[in-house]
Structure 1
Amino acid sequence: MAKVRFRLDRSEDGWPPADSEGLWAEPLGNGRYRLDNTPWFVRGSSADDVVSAVADEDGVLWFSQTLEFGGRQTIRVIPRSDGPLSGDSRAVLDAFSPLNVTGESLGEQLKIVALDLGPDVDVAAVKQLCIQGKTERWWHYEEGNVTPEWLGL
């Protein structure tokens, strides 16, 4: 496996809390890599996407462009500490699990959950739950990498 780094654009309020993010990837040859994990902060890429990367003078592989969409989507959810879930990342994962959505929590320091939506997921049900949770103050969410289907709902 190789680590492909993505440069991140930070907002004025300092989000995301890093200048770059490294994603594990399977080398495919000729500067091509298949992403192997769900990004925390990268926008426009998800697991299973095939990307190109170029090594810098230190040998660090930097993302260049997406070559093939892998069929997965990424949603990031931050549970509200002042809401019914009391900031519990595990509760977010539990809420989405019945919809066949997997994900991973970044931990207690940054309470963020990266959700991975596979191609067989009911996108409408997931989006409905995202909106419901936002409306009922369970969480905030953002679209890290979504399809036109998601956007059309």
Structure 2
Amino acid sequence: MHQQAKSDLVRVLFSLDVDEDGWPPVSAETMWARVLSPDRVEIDNVPFFVRGLSSGDEVRVVRDDDGMLVGTEVIEWAGHCTVRVVPFPGGPLAGNLQRVLDAFAPLGITGEGIEHFGLIALDIPPDADLQAVIGLLRYGFEEGWWDYEEGNVSEDWRSAG
């Protein structure tokens, strides 16, 4: 997340389609954003459930009937990738979210955790060593540390994998 006071940020609502398996486990997610213009914001945190969105992306917004800002489309991608990691409670990391963040920190990767869902959302900057990040994700999966999903990745990410 950018180093900006929360008082300078607004909340933006994103509606989500829940699939037949109940994923994601919520029908909406709100995210912090910095206002760029009346109809544009820059996302200032990592999405837990919104697909196709990453930290730093510019998003078009509208106000709903209650005055809430609602994200409608990504206008400009900032180059960050978003990957979600769920550590296995019975695995070597014992479901510990901080241990997941600690595993990725040496690669310059940050993220946010949501304890209620046992989920980490990783923010992978455009200058990250994508092969090393993908390698660690796969290694952790193969070793029974976690499962993961790609929430928003680039062509460079796909090529590195």
Question: Do they superpose with TM above 0.5?
Answer: yes
With structure 2 as the length reference, what TM-score do the two structures score? 0.90
Runs of 4+ residues over 2 Å off in structure 1: none
Q: In the alignment, what sits opposite 2:3? A: none
C-alpha separation in 2, matches of 1:88 and 1:37: 21
Q: In the alignment, what sits opposite 1:7? A: 15
Q: CA RMSD in A?
A: 1.0
Helix, strand or coil for the counterpart of 1:91? helix
Per residue, is there more helix in 1 or in 2?
2
Q: 2:132 aligns with which of 94, 118, 125?
A: 125
Unaligned runs of 5+ in 2: 1-8
- Identity, in percent, stands at 46
Q: 1:85 aligns with which of 90, 93, 96?
A: 93
C-alpha separation in 2, matches of 1:96 and 1:135: 16
AA aligned opposite 1:143:
E
Q: In the alignment, what sits opposite 1:139? A: 146
Q: In the alignment, what sits opposite 1:69? A: 77
Helix, strand or coil for the counterpart of 1:13? coil
The structural deviation recorded for 1:41 is 0.6
Corresponding position: 1:60 with 2:68: yes
Q: In the alignment, what sits opposite 1:39? A: 47
The structural deviation recorded for 1:43 is 0.5
Listed one character per residue, the Cα deviations across residues 2-56 of structure 1 (whole Å, up to 9, x for unaligned) are 2111111212221212110011111111401011111111100111100101111
Unaligned runs of 5+ in 1: none
The structural deviation recorded for 1:85 is 1.1
**Number of residue pairs aligned between Structure 1 and Structure 2:** 152
AA aligned opposite 1:92:
V
Corresponding position: 1:98 with 2:85: no
C-alpha separation in 2, matches of 1:35 and 1:105: 17
